[in-house]
Chains A and B, each alone.
Chain A
Protein backbone atom coordinates (compact mmCIF):
# COMPACT_ATOMS: atom_id res chain seq x y z
CA UNK A 1 0.00 0.00 0.00
CA UNK A 2 1.34 3.45 -0.89
CA UNK A 3 0.25 6.58 0.95
CA UNK A 4 1.69 9.94 -0.03
CA UNK A 5 2.56 11.97 3.04
CA UNK A 6 3.24 15.64 2.43
CA UNK A 7 4.31 18.52 4.57
CA UNK A 8 8.01 18.01 5.24
CA UNK A 9 9.56 20.17 2.49
CA UNK A 10 10.27 23.20 4.65
CA UNK A 11 11.73 21.12 7.45
CA UNK A 12 13.89 19.18 4.97
CA UNK A 13 15.27 22.40 3.42
CA UNK A 14 16.09 23.76 6.85
CA UNK A 15 17.71 20.47 7.86
CA UNK A 16 19.92 20.51 4.78
CA UNK A 17 20.99 24.10 5.44
CA UNK A 18 21.81 23.17 9.02
CA UNK A 19 23.81 20.20 7.78
CA UNK A 20 25.75 22.44 5.35
CA UNK A 21 26.58 24.83 8.18
CA UNK A 22 27.77 21.97 10.37
CA UNK A 23 29.84 20.59 7.51
CA UNK A 24 31.62 23.91 7.13
CA UNK A 25 32.46 23.97 10.83
CA UNK A 26 33.91 27.03 12.50
CA UNK A 27 34.08 29.81 9.84
CA UNK A 28 37.21 31.14 11.56
CA UNK A 29 39.02 27.94 10.48
CA UNK A 30 40.13 27.87 6.81
CA UNK A 31 37.98 25.75 4.52
CA UNK A 32 39.38 22.46 3.16
CA UNK A 33 40.31 22.44 -0.53
CA UNK A 34 39.95 19.38 -2.72
CA UNK A 35 43.71 19.46 -3.23
CA UNK A 36 44.22 19.26 0.51
CA UNK A 37 41.87 16.29 0.78
CA UNK A 38 43.39 14.45 -2.20
CA UNK A 39 46.92 15.25 -1.04
CA UNK A 40 46.64 14.85 2.72
CA UNK A 41 43.73 12.43 3.18
CA UNK A 42 44.86 10.25 0.28
CA UNK A 43 43.97 6.91 1.85
CA UNK A 44 40.38 8.05 2.42
CA UNK A 45 40.23 9.14 -1.23
CA UNK A 46 41.67 5.76 -2.31
CA UNK A 47 39.00 3.88 -0.39
CA UNK A 48 36.25 6.00 -1.93
CA UNK A 49 37.66 5.38 -5.43
CA UNK A 50 37.92 1.62 -4.84
CA UNK A 51 34.46 1.09 -3.37
CA UNK A 52 32.85 3.90 -5.35
CA UNK A 53 34.38 2.05 -8.31
CA UNK A 54 35.53 5.19 -10.15
CA UNK A 55 39.19 6.21 -10.35
CA UNK A 56 39.17 10.01 -10.17
CA UNK A 57 40.97 11.61 -7.22
CA UNK A 58 39.24 14.98 -7.63
CA UNK A 59 35.73 13.52 -7.67
CA UNK A 60 36.54 11.26 -4.72
CA UNK A 61 37.99 14.21 -2.77
CA UNK A 62 34.82 16.21 -3.48
CA UNK A 63 32.72 13.29 -2.28
CA UNK A 64 34.75 13.07 0.95
CA UNK A 65 34.30 16.80 1.52
CA UNK A 66 30.59 16.76 0.74
CA UNK A 67 30.04 13.76 3.02
CA UNK A 68 31.96 15.37 5.90
CA UNK A 69 34.38 12.46 5.88
CA UNK A 70 31.65 9.78 6.04
CA UNK A 71 33.30 7.42 3.56
CA UNK A 72 30.29 5.19 2.96
CA UNK A 73 28.22 8.29 2.14
CA UNK A 74 31.07 9.52 -0.11
CA UNK A 75 31.10 6.15 -1.91
CA UNK A 76 27.34 6.50 -2.47
CA UNK A 77 27.86 10.00 -3.94
CA UNK A 78 30.52 8.74 -6.35
CA UNK A 79 28.38 5.76 -7.42
CA UNK A 80 25.48 8.11 -8.08
CA UNK A 81 27.66 10.45 -10.15
CA UNK A 82 29.02 7.62 -12.31
CA UNK A 83 25.50 6.87 -13.56
CA UNK A 84 25.47 10.32 -15.22
CA UNK A 85 28.50 9.55 -17.43
CA UNK A 86 28.53 7.55 -20.67
CA UNK A 87 30.62 4.38 -20.81
CA UNK A 88 33.23 4.66 -23.58
CA UNK A 89 34.46 1.10 -23.35
CA UNK A 90 36.82 -1.16 -21.45
CA UNK A 91 40.58 -1.03 -21.08
CA UNK A 92 43.05 -3.74 -21.95
CA UNK A 93 43.73 -5.73 -18.76
CA UNK A 94 46.38 -3.87 -16.73
CA UNK A 95 49.74 -5.63 -16.45
CA UNK A 96 50.69 -5.67 -12.77
CA UNK A 97 54.02 -7.41 -13.58
CA UNK A 98 55.05 -4.20 -15.37
CA UNK A 99 53.96 -2.02 -12.42
CA UNK A 100 56.15 0.97 -11.50
CA UNK A 101 56.77 -0.47 -8.03
CA UNK A 102 56.51 1.81 -4.99
CA UNK A 103 56.06 -1.01 -2.49
CA UNK A 104 56.62 -4.72 -2.83
CA UNK A 105 56.96 -7.22 -0.02
CA UNK A 106 56.76 -10.97 0.38
CA UNK A 107 56.18 -12.86 3.60
CA UNK A 108 57.07 -16.13 1.85
CA UNK A 109 60.53 -15.40 0.43
CA UNK A 110 63.16 -13.26 2.13
CA UNK A 111 65.48 -12.89 -0.84
CA UNK A 112 63.73 -12.43 -4.10
CA UNK A 113 64.72 -10.66 -7.31
CA UNK A 114 64.04 -6.95 -6.90
CA UNK A 115 64.13 -7.26 -3.12
CA UNK A 116 61.71 -6.25 -0.38
CA UNK A 117 60.74 -2.63 -0.97
CA UNK A 118 58.82 -1.19 1.98
CA UNK A 119 57.65 2.00 0.25
CA UNK A 120 55.38 4.41 2.14
CA UNK A 121 53.95 2.28 4.96
CA UNK A 122 52.53 2.49 8.48
CA UNK A 123 54.00 -0.96 9.22
CA UNK A 124 56.63 -0.87 11.96
CA UNK A 125 55.41 2.49 13.29
CA UNK A 126 54.65 2.49 17.01
CA UNK A 127 51.14 3.81 16.62
CA UNK A 128 51.87 6.61 19.07
CA UNK A 129 50.05 9.85 18.37
CA UNK A 130 52.52 12.24 16.77
CA UNK A 131 51.98 15.65 18.33
CA UNK A 132 54.48 17.17 15.93
CA UNK A 133 51.71 16.88 13.30
CA UNK A 134 49.43 18.94 15.55
CA UNK A 135 52.04 21.69 15.68
CA UNK A 136 52.48 22.20 11.92
CA UNK A 137 56.01 20.83 12.11
CA UNK A 138 58.35 20.56 9.16
CA UNK A 139 58.03 17.33 7.21
CA UNK A 140 61.26 15.39 6.69
CA UNK A 141 61.86 14.89 2.97
CA UNK A 142 62.18 11.31 1.80
CA UNK A 143 65.67 10.39 0.70
CA UNK A 144 66.22 9.02 -2.77
CA UNK A 145 68.60 6.24 -3.70
CA UNK A 146 71.11 6.64 -6.54
CA UNK A 147 69.57 3.75 -8.39
CA UNK A 148 65.89 3.20 -9.01
CA UNK A 149 63.96 0.04 -8.11
CA UNK A 150 64.04 -2.63 -10.81
CA UNK A 151 61.88 -1.90 -13.86
CA UNK A 152 60.30 -5.32 -13.86
CA UNK A 153 60.04 -7.47 -10.76
CA UNK A 154 58.99 -11.10 -11.23
CA UNK A 155 55.93 -12.14 -9.29
CA UNK A 156 56.61 -14.42 -6.35
CA UNK A 157 53.96 -16.82 -7.61
CA UNK A 158 55.91 -17.17 -10.87
CA UNK A 159 58.85 -18.62 -8.89
CA UNK A 160 56.58 -21.38 -7.56
CA UNK A 161 54.90 -21.70 -10.92
CA UNK A 162 58.19 -22.66 -12.59
CA UNK A 163 58.35 -25.73 -10.33
CA UNK A 164 54.68 -26.52 -10.79
CA UNK A 165 54.11 -26.13 -7.06
CA UNK A 166 51.25 -23.67 -7.45
CA UNK A 167 48.11 -23.92 -9.53
CA UNK A 168 47.94 -21.97 -12.79
CA UNK A 169 45.51 -19.08 -12.99
CA UNK A 170 42.41 -19.69 -15.10
CA UNK A 171 42.75 -18.21 -18.58
CA UNK A 172 40.57 -17.60 -21.59
CA UNK A 173 36.83 -17.15 -21.63
CA UNK A 174 35.04 -14.32 -23.37
CA UNK A 175 34.69 -10.76 -22.11
CA UNK A 176 34.31 -10.71 -18.32
CA UNK A 177 30.88 -10.30 -16.74
CA UNK A 178 29.97 -6.84 -15.45
CA UNK A 179 27.68 -6.62 -12.47
CA UNK A 180 27.05 -2.92 -13.11
CA UNK A 181 25.37 -3.98 -16.35
CA UNK A 182 23.63 -7.25 -15.57
CA UNK A 183 22.23 -8.34 -12.23
CA UNK A 184 24.41 -10.79 -10.37
CA UNK A 185 23.30 -14.40 -10.82
CA UNK A 186 24.57 -17.31 -8.76
CA UNK A 187 26.72 -19.28 -8.97
CA UNK A 188 28.98 -16.43 -10.11
CA UNK A 189 32.22 -16.90 -12.02
CA UNK A 190 35.55 -15.84 -10.56
CA UNK A 191 35.41 -12.66 -12.72
CA UNK A 192 32.15 -11.48 -11.12
CA UNK A 193 33.27 -12.50 -7.65
CA UNK A 194 36.44 -10.44 -7.98
CA UNK A 195 34.53 -7.44 -9.34
CA UNK A 196 32.09 -7.72 -6.45
CA UNK A 197 34.88 -7.98 -3.87
CA UNK A 198 36.84 -5.08 -5.38
CA UNK A 199 33.77 -2.84 -4.87
CA UNK A 200 32.86 -4.43 -1.55
CA UNK A 201 32.86 -2.70 1.80
CA UNK A 202 36.32 -2.92 3.33
CA UNK A 203 35.01 -3.61 6.82
CA UNK A 204 32.79 -6.44 5.62
CA UNK A 205 35.56 -8.08 3.59
CA UNK A 206 38.05 -7.57 6.42
CA UNK A 207 35.77 -9.27 8.95
CA UNK A 208 35.11 -12.20 6.59
CA UNK A 209 38.81 -12.61 5.86
CA UNK A 210 39.51 -12.50 9.57
CA UNK A 211 36.82 -15.11 10.26
CA UNK A 212 38.44 -17.43 7.70
CA UNK A 213 41.77 -17.12 9.52
CA UNK A 214 40.22 -17.81 12.92
CA UNK A 215 38.76 -21.11 11.83
CA UNK A 216 35.50 -20.25 10.04
CA UNK A 217 37.09 -21.37 6.79
CA UNK A 218 40.25 -23.10 5.89
CA UNK A 219 42.63 -20.85 4.03
CA UNK A 220 46.11 -21.33 5.65
CA UNK A 221 47.39 -18.27 3.86
CA UNK A 222 50.82 -16.79 3.28
CA UNK A 223 51.10 -13.27 1.93
CA UNK A 224 53.04 -14.47 -1.10
CA UNK A 225 53.36 -10.96 -2.41
CA UNK A 226 51.90 -7.51 -1.96
CA UNK A 227 52.81 -4.82 -4.45
CA UNK A 228 51.66 -1.23 -4.86
CA UNK A 229 52.50 1.22 -7.59
CA UNK A 230 51.37 2.67 -10.89
CA UNK A 231 50.13 0.65 -13.83
CA UNK A 232 49.52 2.03 -17.29
CA UNK A 233 45.96 1.81 -18.60
CA UNK A 234 45.72 1.09 -22.30
CA UNK A 235 42.65 1.24 -24.47
CA UNK A 236 41.95 0.55 -28.15
CA UNK A 237 40.09 3.62 -29.47
CA UNK A 238 37.46 2.60 -31.97
CA UNK A 239 38.79 5.09 -34.56
CA UNK A 240 42.37 3.75 -34.36
CA UNK A 241 42.27 0.00 -33.82
CA UNK A 242 45.52 -0.17 -31.86
CA UNK A 243 46.09 0.28 -28.11
CA UNK A 244 47.27 3.61 -26.68
CA UNK A 245 48.05 4.47 -23.08
CA UNK A 246 45.44 6.84 -21.68
CA UNK A 247 46.88 7.28 -18.20
CA UNK A 248 48.18 5.56 -15.11
CA UNK A 249 46.36 4.38 -12.02
CA UNK A 250 47.77 3.44 -8.63
CA UNK A 251 46.77 -0.07 -7.60
CA UNK A 252 47.50 -2.47 -4.75
CA UNK A 253 47.75 -6.17 -5.53
CA UNK A 254 47.87 -9.09 -3.10
CA UNK A 255 48.69 -12.68 -3.99
CA UNK A 256 47.84 -15.06 -1.15
CA UNK A 257 49.36 -18.53 -1.31
CA UNK A 258 47.22 -21.20 0.32
CA UNK A 259 47.41 -24.89 1.05
CA UNK A 260 45.69 -27.57 -0.93
CA UNK A 261 46.01 -31.26 -0.21
CA UNK A 262 45.48 -32.38 -3.76
CA UNK A 263 43.08 -34.98 -5.08
CA UNK A 264 43.03 -38.12 -7.20
CA UNK A 265 43.79 -36.05 -10.30
CA UNK A 266 45.84 -33.15 -8.94
CA UNK A 267 49.05 -33.60 -6.92
CA UNK A 268 49.37 -31.47 -3.77
CA UNK A 269 50.08 -27.89 -4.72
CA UNK A 270 49.55 -24.38 -3.45
CA UNK A 271 46.38 -22.56 -4.43
CA UNK A 272 45.83 -18.85 -4.93
CA UNK A 273 43.66 -16.08 -3.62
CA UNK A 274 43.80 -12.73 -5.37
CA UNK A 275 43.13 -9.14 -4.36
CA UNK A 276 43.34 -5.98 -6.46
CA UNK A 277 42.21 -2.47 -5.51
CA UNK A 278 42.57 1.10 -6.69
CA UNK A 279 45.05 3.27 -4.79
CA UNK A 280 46.89 2.34 -1.64
CA UNK A 281 44.41 -0.06 -0.05
CA UNK A 282 46.57 -2.84 1.33
CA UNK A 283 44.25 -4.04 4.10
CA UNK A 284 41.42 -4.31 1.60
CA UNK A 285 43.53 -6.11 -1.02
CA UNK A 286 44.73 -8.66 1.56
CA UNK A 287 41.24 -9.30 2.92
CA UNK A 288 39.91 -9.58 -0.64
CA UNK A 289 42.53 -12.24 -1.44
CA UNK A 290 41.49 -14.25 1.64
CA UNK A 291 37.82 -14.09 0.75
CA UNK A 292 38.49 -14.84 -2.93
CA UNK A 293 40.23 -18.04 -1.84
CA UNK A 294 37.48 -18.90 0.66
CA UNK A 295 34.84 -18.58 -2.05
CA UNK A 296 36.69 -21.22 -4.09
CA UNK A 297 35.92 -23.90 -1.48
CA UNK A 298 33.47 -25.87 -3.62
CA UNK A 299 35.64 -25.63 -6.73
CA UNK A 300 38.51 -27.15 -4.73
CA UNK A 301 36.38 -29.86 -3.13
CA UNK A 302 36.42 -28.39 0.37
CA UNK A 303 33.55 -28.23 2.86
CA UNK A 304 31.79 -24.91 2.42
CA UNK A 305 30.04 -24.54 5.75
CA UNK A 306 31.30 -21.12 6.86
CA UNK A 307 30.09 -17.61 6.05
CA UNK A 308 33.26 -16.61 4.14
CA UNK A 309 32.78 -19.65 1.87
CA UNK A 310 29.10 -18.97 1.19
CA UNK A 311 28.94 -17.24 -2.16
CA UNK A 312 25.40 -15.97 -1.79
CA UNK A 313 25.98 -14.69 1.74
CA UNK A 314 29.19 -12.88 0.77
CA UNK A 315 28.28 -11.47 -2.64
CA UNK A 316 24.76 -10.36 -1.76
CA UNK A 317 25.80 -8.47 1.39
CA UNK A 318 29.17 -6.98 0.44
CA UNK A 319 28.04 -3.74 -1.14
CA UNK A 320 27.86 -0.90 1.38
CA UNK A 321 25.68 1.32 -0.83
CA UNK A 322 23.00 -1.37 -1.03
CA UNK A 323 23.43 -2.35 2.61
CA UNK A 324 23.35 1.23 3.83
CA UNK A 325 20.28 1.97 1.75
CA UNK A 326 18.31 -0.99 3.02
CA UNK A 327 19.26 -0.49 6.66
CA UNK A 328 18.66 3.25 6.54
CA UNK A 329 15.35 3.08 4.67
CA UNK A 330 13.91 2.04 8.03
CA UNK A 331 14.08 5.76 8.91
CA UNK A 332 11.52 6.61 6.25
CA UNK A 333 7.87 6.84 7.20
CA UNK A 334 6.34 3.44 7.88
CA UNK A 335 3.29 4.90 9.62
CA UNK A 336 0.67 2.83 7.83
CA UNK A 337 2.66 -0.41 8.17
CA UNK A 338 3.12 0.23 11.84
CA UNK A 339 -0.51 1.20 12.34
CA UNK A 340 -1.68 -2.07 10.84
CA UNK A 341 0.69 -4.09 13.03
CA UNK A 342 -0.49 -2.14 16.05
CA UNK A 343 -4.07 -3.01 15.29
CA UNK A 344 -3.19 -6.62 14.67
CA UNK A 345 -1.48 -6.92 18.05
CA UNK A 346 -4.44 -5.32 19.78
CA UNK A 347 -6.83 -7.73 18.08
CA UNK A 348 -4.70 -10.74 18.99
CA UNK A 349 -4.45 -9.66 22.60
CA UNK A 350 -8.14 -8.91 22.73
CA UNK A 351 -9.00 -12.30 21.25
CA UNK A 352 -6.67 -14.00 23.75
CA UNK A 353 -8.22 -12.14 26.70
CA UNK A 354 -11.80 -12.29 25.38
CA UNK A 355 -11.94 -8.48 25.52
CA UNK A 356 -13.29 -5.86 23.18
CA UNK A 357 -10.56 -4.37 20.87
CA UNK A 358 -9.35 -0.93 21.95
CA UNK A 359 -10.00 1.96 19.54
CA UNK A 360 -7.22 2.05 16.94
CA UNK A 361 -4.90 4.97 16.14
CA UNK A 362 -5.39 6.76 19.43
CA UNK A 363 -1.72 7.33 20.29
CA UNK A 364 0.44 9.34 19.84
CA UNK A 365 -1.35 11.20 17.00
CA UNK A 366 -4.35 10.59 14.82
CA UNK A 367 -3.52 8.71 11.62
CA UNK A 368 -0.37 9.27 9.58
CA UNK A 369 1.92 11.97 10.92
CA UNK A 370 3.13 14.90 8.89
CA UNK A 371 6.47 14.04 7.39
CA UNK A 372 8.49 13.96 4.21
CA UNK A 373 6.70 13.93 0.90
CA UNK A 374 7.67 10.37 0.20
CA UNK A 375 5.61 7.37 -0.64
CA UNK A 376 5.70 4.49 1.75
CA UNK A 377 5.56 0.94 0.70
CA UNK A 378 3.97 -1.82 2.68
CA UNK A 379 6.15 -4.89 3.13
CA UNK A 380 9.39 -3.30 1.87
CA UNK A 381 10.80 -5.32 -1.02
CA UNK A 382 14.51 -6.14 -1.11
CA UNK A 383 16.53 -3.62 -3.11
CA UNK A 384 17.31 -4.59 -6.66
CA UNK A 385 20.97 -5.04 -7.62
CA UNK A 386 22.53 -1.95 -9.12
CA UNK A 387 22.23 -3.26 -12.67
CA UNK A 388 18.47 -3.49 -12.39
CA UNK A 389 18.12 0.03 -11.12
CA UNK A 390 19.72 1.63 -14.13
Chain B
Protein backbone atom coordinates (compact mmCIF):
# COMPACT_ATOMS: atom_id res chain seq x y z
CA UNK B 1 0.00 0.00 0.00
CA UNK B 2 1.44 3.42 -0.94
CA UNK B 3 2.42 5.73 1.89
CA UNK B 4 -0.45 8.21 1.57
CA UNK B 5 -2.96 5.36 1.45
CA UNK B 6 -1.43 4.03 4.68
CA UNK B 7 -1.73 7.47 6.24
CA UNK B 8 -5.41 7.63 5.31
CA UNK B 9 -6.07 4.23 6.82
CA UNK B 10 -4.11 5.13 9.91
CA UNK B 11 -6.36 8.15 10.36
CA UNK B 12 -9.66 6.39 9.91
CA UNK B 13 -8.71 3.39 12.06
CA UNK B 14 -7.67 5.83 14.81
CA UNK B 15 -10.96 7.73 14.49
CA UNK B 16 -12.99 4.49 14.65
CA UNK B 17 -11.07 3.25 17.71
CA UNK B 18 -11.41 6.52 19.60
CA UNK B 19 -15.06 7.22 18.76
CA UNK B 20 -17.48 7.04 21.68
CA UNK B 21 -19.28 3.65 21.47
CA UNK B 22 -22.67 5.37 21.19
CA UNK B 23 -21.46 7.58 18.32
CA UNK B 24 -20.10 4.58 16.42
CA UNK B 25 -23.37 2.70 16.92
CA UNK B 26 -25.16 5.76 15.48
CA UNK B 27 -22.96 5.77 12.38
CA UNK B 28 -23.49 2.04 11.96
CA UNK B 29 -27.26 2.43 11.92
CA UNK B 30 -27.16 5.36 9.46
CA UNK B 31 -25.20 3.47 6.80
CA UNK B 32 -27.06 1.85 3.89
CA UNK B 33 -27.50 -1.92 3.93
CA UNK B 34 -24.16 -3.53 4.73
CA UNK B 35 -22.72 -6.40 2.68
CA UNK B 36 -22.24 -9.81 4.18
CA UNK B 37 -18.93 -10.42 5.88
CA UNK B 38 -17.16 -13.23 7.65
CA UNK B 39 -15.21 -13.00 10.87
CA UNK B 40 -11.55 -13.83 10.26
CA UNK B 41 -10.91 -13.26 13.94
CA UNK B 42 -13.90 -12.96 16.22
CA UNK B 43 -13.80 -10.08 18.69
CA UNK B 44 -11.24 -11.04 21.30
CA UNK B 45 -10.34 -9.10 24.45
CA UNK B 46 -6.82 -9.05 25.82
CA UNK B 47 -4.18 -6.76 27.24
CA UNK B 48 -1.71 -4.33 25.72
CA UNK B 49 1.21 -3.14 27.83
CA UNK B 50 1.23 0.66 27.81
CA UNK B 51 4.73 2.09 27.72
CA UNK B 52 6.01 5.42 28.91
CA UNK B 53 9.45 6.99 28.63
CA UNK B 54 11.95 7.73 31.41
CA UNK B 55 11.60 11.45 32.12
CA UNK B 56 8.98 11.75 29.37
CA UNK B 57 11.44 11.56 26.47
CA UNK B 58 14.02 8.91 27.44
CA UNK B 59 14.19 5.14 27.11
CA UNK B 60 10.86 3.28 27.25
CA UNK B 61 9.55 1.51 30.36
CA UNK B 62 6.39 -0.51 31.06
CA UNK B 63 3.77 1.58 32.85
CA UNK B 64 0.89 -0.91 33.07
CA UNK B 65 -1.57 -2.75 30.87
CA UNK B 66 -4.88 -1.72 29.32
CA UNK B 67 -7.74 -3.84 28.04
CA UNK B 68 -8.06 -3.98 24.25
CA UNK B 69 -10.49 -5.78 21.93
CA UNK B 70 -9.44 -6.75 18.42
CA UNK B 71 -11.39 -8.10 15.49
CA UNK B 72 -10.75 -8.92 11.81
CA UNK B 73 -13.37 -9.38 9.07
CA UNK B 74 -13.51 -10.08 5.33
CA UNK B 75 -16.23 -8.65 3.11
CA UNK B 76 -17.89 -10.82 0.48
CA UNK B 77 -16.33 -8.53 -2.11
CA UNK B 78 -12.85 -9.16 -0.80
CA UNK B 79 -11.26 -6.47 1.35
CA UNK B 80 -10.24 -7.32 4.92
CA UNK B 81 -10.85 -4.97 7.82
CA UNK B 82 -9.11 -4.86 11.17
CA UNK B 83 -9.82 -3.11 14.43
CA UNK B 84 -7.95 -2.70 17.71
CA UNK B 85 -9.99 -0.73 20.21
CA UNK B 86 -9.56 0.16 23.85
CA UNK B 87 -11.65 -1.65 26.46
CA UNK B 88 -13.79 -4.78 26.47
CA UNK B 89 -16.08 -3.80 23.59
CA UNK B 90 -16.71 -6.66 21.14
CA UNK B 91 -19.50 -4.78 19.30
CA UNK B 92 -17.36 -1.70 18.85
CA UNK B 93 -14.40 -3.75 17.57
CA UNK B 94 -16.54 -5.69 15.08
CA UNK B 95 -18.19 -2.55 13.71
CA UNK B 96 -14.86 -0.73 13.45
CA UNK B 97 -13.37 -3.69 11.55
CA UNK B 98 -16.31 -3.79 9.10
CA UNK B 99 -16.08 -0.03 8.52
CA UNK B 100 -12.31 -0.36 7.96
CA UNK B 101 -13.04 -2.95 5.27
CA UNK B 102 -15.77 -0.81 3.69
CA UNK B 103 -13.33 2.12 3.46
CA UNK B 104 -11.22 -0.08 1.19
CA UNK B 105 -14.17 -0.79 -1.11
CA UNK B 106 -14.24 2.02 -3.73
CA UNK B 107 -18.01 1.70 -4.25
CA UNK B 108 -18.95 2.04 -0.60
CA UNK B 109 -16.17 4.26 0.57
CA UNK B 110 -17.92 7.61 0.15
CA UNK B 111 -20.79 6.98 2.55
CA UNK B 112 -18.46 5.55 5.19
CA UNK B 113 -15.94 8.40 4.80
CA UNK B 114 -18.70 10.90 5.63
CA UNK B 115 -19.40 8.99 8.87
CA UNK B 116 -15.68 8.89 9.68
CA UNK B 117 -15.57 12.70 9.31
CA UNK B 118 -18.60 13.01 11.54
CA UNK B 119 -17.08 10.75 14.21
CA UNK B 120 -13.83 12.69 14.09
CA UNK B 121 -15.71 15.97 14.50
CA UNK B 122 -17.59 14.60 17.54
CA UNK B 123 -14.35 13.45 19.17
CA UNK B 124 -12.66 16.80 18.45
CA UNK B 125 -15.69 18.64 19.84
CA UNK B 126 -15.52 16.67 23.08
CA UNK B 127 -11.80 17.32 23.46
CA UNK B 128 -12.24 21.01 22.71
CA UNK B 129 -14.89 21.35 25.38
CA UNK B 130 -12.59 19.74 27.97
CA UNK B 131 -9.70 21.95 26.82
CA UNK B 132 -11.83 25.11 27.17
CA UNK B 133 -12.96 24.11 30.67
CA UNK B 134 -9.32 23.58 31.64
CA UNK B 135 -8.39 26.93 30.07
CA UNK B 136 -10.84 28.62 32.45
CA UNK B 137 -8.63 27.40 35.33
CA UNK B 138 -5.49 29.01 33.93
CA UNK B 139 -3.84 31.38 36.40
CA UNK B 140 -3.57 35.00 35.25
CA UNK B 141 -0.81 36.44 37.42
CA UNK B 142 -0.74 40.12 38.13
CA UNK B 143 2.10 41.85 39.90
CA UNK B 144 1.62 44.07 42.91
CA UNK B 145 3.56 47.30 42.41
CA UNK B 146 4.97 48.81 45.57
CA UNK B 147 6.79 52.10 46.14
CA UNK B 148 6.41 55.80 45.30
CA UNK B 149 6.16 55.65 41.51
Contact = CB atoms under 8 A, between A and B. Distances in A.
Interface of A: 49-50, 53-56, 58-59, 82, 85-94, 96-97, 100-103, 110-111, 115-120, 142-149, 155, 157, 168-173, 175-180, 190-192, 194-195, 198-199, 229-230, 232-233, 235, 237, 239-240, 242-249, 251, 253, 255, 272, 274, 276, 278
A148 B64 CA distance: 30
Of B54, B57, B136, most A-chain CB atoms within 10 Å = B54
B134 A246 contact: no
Interface in B51-84: 51-68, 70, 72, 82, 84
Contacts of A89: 48-49
Nearest to A244: B13
Contacts of B66: 54-56, 91, 233, 247, 249
B132 A146 contact: yes
B144 interface: no
B54 A274 contact: yes
A172 B59 contact: yes
Interface string B74-96: 00000000101111100000000
Contacts of B47: 54, 82, 85-88
Contacts of A59: 67, 88
A246 B18 CA distance: 7
3 closest A-B pairs by CB: A247-B86, A169-B58, A148-B131
A9 B129 CA distance: 55
A85 B60 contact: no
Interface of B: 6, 9-10, 13-14, 17-18, 44-68, 70, 72, 82, 84-88, 127-139, 141
Nearest to A240: B82
A248 B55 contact: no
B64 A53 contact: yes
Given A116-B139, A143-B136, A237-B82, A169 B57 contact: yes
A55 B50 contact: yes
Contact of B141 (A110, A235, A251): A110
A110 to B, nearest CB: 6
B55 A169 contact: yes
Given A102-B134, A147-B135, A93 B60 contact: yes
B124 to A, nearest CB: 11
Given A55-B65, A91-B49, A191 B134 contact: no
Contact of A242 (B6, B59, B62, B86): B6
